[in-house]
Amino acid sequence: MVLWVSGMGVQHGDEECLQGFDKYKQPPENKRVNKGMKIEEFKFIYWMEYAHRMGGRALGLGAGQGLIVESLTWVRGAAKVRRLALTISILIGLIAVPGAFVAGNDVLFKS
């Protein structure tokens, strides 16, 4: 996987892309599995991961807004909207668990 650091944005230019590619090739697994990878393949992986991260952030914002709506309707007692908001929040959470697992955030699963 590509190294993602908080605040890290899109790679600008070939120099940054080559630096990222060199870092990507360092772990032993990538040396063994992806030793013949070309820069074009790395760029594809990079953009797929970037799109995945941005989609996850958008989904997280949507879930946050859903929780706000849920809490407001909970106070007002609107049962239909409350059930819908709670269901949507649970579904978003269920979607996030496998994503976190795939991304290597197994801290969530350790006690």
Q: Structure pTM?
A: 0.54
Q: Which two tokens stand for residue 4?
A: 């993602």
Query: Could you report the per-residue pLDDT of 51-83, keeping only the tens digit for each?
Result: 877 887 777 777 777 667 767 766 666 666 667
- The answer to whether 67 touches 24, Cβ cutoff 8 Å, is no
Residue 111, classed as helix, strand or coil, is: coil
pLDDT for 35 equals: 76
DSSP annotation of 34: S
Centroid of chain to Cα 20: 18
> What tokens does 84 get?
């819908």
The whole-number average pLDDT for the span 42-52 is 82
81: tokens are: 């909207």
Task: Give the long-range contacts of residues 86-94, CB within 8 A, separation 24 or more.
Answer: 88/63, 89/63, 92/59, 92/62, 92/63, 92/66, 93/63
Residue spans per domain, the chain: 13-104
Kindly list the distances between the CA atom of residue 98 and the CA atoms of 26, 41, 67, 94, in Å, as whole numbers in the listed order: 26, 25, 21, 7
17: confidence class by pLDDT, cuts 50, 70, 90: confident
